[in-house]
C-alpha cells in the first residue's frame, strides 16, 4: 500500500519539494540580506534607533506580508490538491473496489493513505513555517506584532496544525461528496470559513484577558500605514484609531490603541474620568477642529483596555495547534467510521 500510495502521489510530492526548494533559496538569500541591514542599522543604531527601525520596516514590510501570505496559503493548497482527491478520486473512478478485493481492509487502506500523505503534507508545511519564522525574525523583533491575525497564523508551530486539519478536511469532503472537483471546492470554502472564524471568534477566548486603564496623557500617535510615514510602533501605548461621534456637548471620542507585542482584544474605548464616568464635549477632547493628541497630552482622563500580554504568545500558539490537531484526529476518525459503515 505504501508503494502504491507513493506511485499515486509522487508527482505532487516531487512538485511540492521542488517548490519548497525554490522558496527556501529565496528566503535564505533575502533573509541574510535583511539580517545584514538589521545588524548594520537597528542593532548598532546608537541614538537614532527609531529612524533605523522605521527604515527597516518600510523596506521589508510589504515583502513580509507576501511571504506570510504564502505560508498561510500552503495548508489550504494541501487540503485542496492533496486532501480532497485522496479518497474522492478512487471513489469516483471505482478503483477502490479493486484494492479492497486484494485482501486490503478498508481501515488499512485509509490508514496508509492518511498517514503517508498526511505526514508529508505536515512535514512540508513545517519546513516552510520554520524558514518563514527564521526569515522574518529581524522585522518581527522591530514590529513586535506577532499577535496580529496575519502574523500569528504565519509563524511558529500553528501552521502544522492548519496543514493537518486542511488535509483531513479535504479527505472527509472527498469521502462524503465522492467527486474530486466538488470536494476541492467544498474544502476551500470550509477551510477559509474556519480560518476567518477562529482568529476573531475563538482565539481571543483561549485565556482570560488582562485589564488596564490607559491614561490619555501617555498615548502617542501610531505610525500611519503605508507611504513614507509608515514604520515601527513606538514603545508604550499607541493611539491608532480615533472616532468622533455626536456634536456639541454630546460629542465624544472612541479611541483604539496598540502596544508593541500586545494583543488588544477590547473594542474602541470611551474617554472616562477617575470615577469611570464617560466624559463628553471639550473636556473629553471631542472637538472636531482640534488635534486630539495635543488635548490628550494635558488630559487627566483615561480609557479602559482588555489585552493579551506578549508573553502569552507561545501559550496561544500551542493551544491553537492542539485544537487543530484534535480536529484533524476527529476528522480522521470520522473518515474511518464512514468508510466502514457507509461507503461502498
Q: What pLDDT shows up at residue 224?
A: 59
Pick the more confident residue, 126 or 341. Answer: 126
Q: Evaluate if residue 221 carries a pLDDT over 90.
A: no
Q: What pLDDT shows up at residue 191?
A: 94
CA 296 to each of CA 121, 252, 258: distance values in angstroms, whole numbers, following the listed order: 52, 13, 16
Matching residue, cell 508593541: 260
Q: What pLDDT shows up at residue 157?
A: 93
Q: Which residues of 313-331 are buried (b: 16+ CB within 10 A; e: fewer)?
A: beebbebbbebbbebbeeb
Helix, strand, coil abundance in the chain, percent, nearest 5: 65, 10, 25
CA neighbours within 13 Å on the CB side: how many for 273?
A: 8
pLDDT digits (tens, 9 = 90+) for 33-77: 999 888 888 887 777 777 888 888 888 888 998 999 888 899 999
State the cell numbers at 241. Answer: 484609531
What is the percent of the chain where pLDDT is above 70? 93
> Would you call 1 helix, strand, or coil by DSSP?
coil
Pick the more confident residue, 144 or 276. Answer: 276
Pick the more confident residue, 253 or 222. Answer: 253
CA neighbours within 13 Å on the CB side: how many for 101?
A: 6
Question: 238-245 and 220-221: which strand pairing?
Answer: parallel
Band of pLDDT at residue 1, cut at 50, 70 and 90: low
Neighbours of 132 (CB within 10 A): 24
According to DSSP, the residues that pair with 264 across neighbouring strands are 307
> Would you call 174 helix, strand, or coil by DSSP?
helix
pTM strictly above 0.75: yes
Mean of the pLDDT values across residues 116-130?
89
Beta carbons of 2 and 111 less than 8 angstroms apart? no
pLDDT digits (tens, 9 = 90+) for 252-281: 899 998 888 889 998 898 999 998 899 888
Beta carbons of 121 and 13 less than 8 angstroms apart? no
Band of pLDDT at residue 248, cut at 50, 70 and 90: confident
Q: What pLDDT shows up at residue 343?
A: 54
Q: What are phi and psi of 211, to 5 degrees?
A: -125, 140
CA 129 to each of CA 31, 124, 156, 303, 306: distance values in angstroms, whole numbers, following the listed order: 14, 9, 7, 38, 30
Q: Evaluate if residue 12 carries a pLDDT over 80.
A: no
Averaged confidence pLDDT in the chain: 86
Band of pLDDT at residue 232, cut at 50, 70 and 90: low
Question: Which residue, among 179, 199, 162, has the nearest Cα to 79 in the 3D structure?
Answer: 162
Band of pLDDT at residue 225, cut at 50, 70 and 90: low
Q: Evaluate if residue 231 carries a pLDDT over 70.
A: no
CA neighbours within 13 Å on the CB side: how many for 297?
A: 6
pLDDT digits (tens, 9 = 90+) for 277-327: 998 888 888 888 888 888 888 889 999 999 999 899 999 999 999 999 999
> Would you call 285 helix, strand, or coil by DSSP?
coil
pLDDT digits (tens, 9 = 90+) for 76-121: 999 998 899 888 888 888 777 776 677 677 778 788 888 888 888 8
Amino acid at each position: 500500500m505504501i508503494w502504491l500510495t507513493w506511485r499515486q502521489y509522487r508527482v505532487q510530492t516531487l512538485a511540492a519539494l521542488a517548490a519548497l526548494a525554490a522558496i527556501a533559496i529565496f528566503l535564505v538569500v533575502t533573509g541574510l540580506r535583511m539580517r545584514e541591514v538589521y545588524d548594520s542599522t537597528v542593532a548598532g543604531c546608537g541614538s537614532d534607533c527609531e529612524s533605523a527601525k522605521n527604515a527597516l520596516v518600510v523596506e521589508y514590510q510589504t515583502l513580509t506580508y507576501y511571504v506570510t501570505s504564502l505560508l498561510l496559503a500552503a495548508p489550504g493548497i494541501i487540503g485542496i490538491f492533496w486532501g480532497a482527491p485522496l479518497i474522492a478520486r478512487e471513489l469516483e473512478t471505482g478503483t477502490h473496489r479493486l484494492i479492497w478485493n486484494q485482501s486490503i481492509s478498508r481501515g488499512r487502506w485509509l490508514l496508509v493513505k492518511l498517514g503517508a500523505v498526511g505526514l508529508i503534507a505536515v512535514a512540508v508545511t513545517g519546513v516552510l513555517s520554520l524558514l518563514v519564522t527564521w526569515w522574518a525574525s529581524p522585522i518581527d523583533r522591530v514590529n513586535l506584532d506577532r499577535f496580529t491575525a496575519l502574523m500569528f497564523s504565519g509563524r511558529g508551530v500553528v501552521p502544522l496544525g492548519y496543514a493537518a486539519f486542511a488535509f483531513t478536511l479535504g479527505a472527509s469532503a472527498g469521502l462524503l461528496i465522492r467527486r474530486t472537483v466538488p470536494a476541492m471546492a467544498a474544502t476551500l470554502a470550509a477551510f477559509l470559513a474556519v480560518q476567518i472564524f477562529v482568529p476573531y471568534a475563538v482565539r481571543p477566548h483561549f485565556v482570560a484577558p488582562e485589564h488596564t486603564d490607559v491614561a490619555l496623557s501617555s498615548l502617542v500617535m501610531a505610525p500611519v500605514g503605508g507611504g513614507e510615514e509608515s514604520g515601527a510602533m513606538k514603545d508604550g501605548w499607541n493611539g491608532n484609531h480615533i472616532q468622533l461621534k455626536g456634536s456639541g456637548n454630546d460629542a465624544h471620542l472612541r479611541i483604539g490603541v496598540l502596544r508593541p507585542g500586545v494583543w488588544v482584544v477590547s473594542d474602541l474605548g470611551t474617554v472616562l474620568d477617575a470615577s469611570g464616568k464617560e466624559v463628553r464635549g471639550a473636556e473629553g477632547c471631542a472637538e472636531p477642529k482640534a488635534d486630539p493628541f495635543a488635548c490628550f497630552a494635558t488630559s487627566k482622563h483615561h480609557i479602559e483596555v482588555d489585552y493579551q500580554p506578549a508573553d502569552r504568545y507561545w501559550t496561544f500558539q500551542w493551544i491553537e495547534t492542539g485544537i487543530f490537531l484534535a480536529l484533524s484526529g476527529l476528522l480522521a476518525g470520522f473518515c474511518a467510521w464512514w468508510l466502514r459503515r457507509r461507503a461502498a
